[in-house]
């Protein structure tokens, strides 16, 4: 393939292109790289051989893809989640979709471990008491010996499980399909077993891909099945949770606390009741974003570009029917 055309979807603004990481300059001289935003995407798509969705929070492709003319044969999103790309026209096409699987595993696992420790040790109250200059001795929970259910058996869920295990937490991993011979955890519970295992968990962590089956999976019924005083953490997608039901479970005291890094609508509006719910920690979709993460994303795309240009199999190919990269 000579001089392929690579279109990079960026957020609107004149400085979007120059702010991209240096790793993307590995394409210099080997591809014609152009930049587009949601306004120019419709006109630019027919000329692109490959599309890099750098602005992975954009829904622009959903509206721009249908129409006349050719479409890119390869679409890569600089995100682990691909739910924004699973619209019928792209799913039914021959276009190969890849994602950023592997970049966010360890940072998100560290975030979850940090939240578990913070909630167990009541750091939030400690900070509040310090601000009030109030000395109040308290007893906190022991992390070692507690039990966690991690929903999502992909790389992120597995890394979370490994990290929590290192803290002495017993981990039950839940995936789409169950297994009694898992090389990492011995057993993976099938998704239909989730209601039963919820009752034993001190910590429930959602790290699942967003599909039709997982949308709204954490609702009033799920929260009612959890052990009283259990804590809930969501690093998957906001749509996994019925937020009003979570608010009710926290306010009633059914849950001991929760941490959300993702929300049904982002950014979270200032008027959202989630900001003020007792026991809820809110972070702005940043659990996987550590210093240098954009460079890592760019290096990953550049490596895959090398494979694509050489006619070699791409890594992180998404099964568009399942909505994630199958485990090999």
Provide the annotated active-site residues: 237, 266, 285
323/328 Cα distance (integer angstroms): 15
Q: CB of 205 within 8 A of CB of 149? A: yes
Angle between helices 123-131 and 105-120 (to 10 degrees): 60
165/171 Cα distance (integer angstroms): 7
What tokens does 159 get? 């890394």
Q: CB of 240 within 8 A of CB of 218? A: yes
**Strands of the chain, DSSP E:** 5-9, 32-36, 50-53, 74-77, 96-98, 147-151, 170-175, 179-182, 186-190, 203-206, 230-234, 255-260, 280-282
Which of 299, 327, 279 is CA-nearest to residue 157? 327
Q: CB of 116 within 8 A of CB of 167? A: yes
């Amino acid at each position: 393939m000579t001089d392929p055309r690579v279109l990079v979807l960026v957020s609107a603004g004149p400085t979007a292109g120059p702010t991209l990481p240096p790793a993307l300059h590995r394409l210099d001289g080997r591809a014609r790289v152009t930049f587009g935003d949601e306004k120019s995407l419709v006109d630019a798509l027919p000329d692109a051989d490959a599309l890099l969705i750098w602005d992975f929070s954009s829904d622009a492709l959903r509206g721009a893809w249908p129409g006349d003319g050719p479409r890119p044969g390869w679409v890569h999103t600089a995100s682990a989640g691909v739910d924004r790309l699973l619209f019928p026209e792209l799913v039914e096409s021959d276009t190969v979709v890849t994602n950023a699987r592997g970049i966010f595993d360890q940072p998100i696992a560290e975030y979850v471990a940090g939240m578990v420790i913070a909630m167990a040790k009541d750091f939030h109250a400690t900070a509040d008491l310090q601000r009030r200059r109030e000395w109040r001795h308290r007893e906190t929970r022991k992390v070692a010996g507690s039990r966690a259910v991690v929903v999502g058996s992909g790389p992120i869920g597995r890394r979370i499980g490994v990290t929590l295990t290192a803290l002495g937490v017993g981990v039950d991993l839940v995936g789409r399909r169950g297994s009694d011979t898992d090389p990492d955890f011995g057993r993976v519970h099938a998704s239909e077993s989730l209601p039963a295992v919820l009752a034993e968990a001190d910590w429930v962590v959602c790290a699942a891909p967003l599909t039709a089956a997982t949308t709204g999976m954490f609702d009033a019924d799920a929260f009612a099945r959890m052990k009283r005083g259990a804590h809930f953490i969501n690093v998957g997608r906001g749509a996994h949770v019925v937020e009003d039901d979570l608010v009710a479970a926290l306010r009633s005291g059914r849950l001991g606390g929760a941490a959300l890094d993702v929300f049904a609508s982002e950014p979270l509006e200032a008027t959202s009741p989630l900001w003020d719910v007792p026991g809820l920690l809110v972070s702005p979709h940043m659990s996987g974003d550590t210093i240098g993460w954009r460079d890592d994303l760019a290096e990953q795309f550049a490596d895959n570009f090398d494979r694509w240009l050489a006619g070699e199999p791409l890594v992180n190919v998404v099964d568009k029917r399942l909505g994630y990269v199958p485990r090999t």
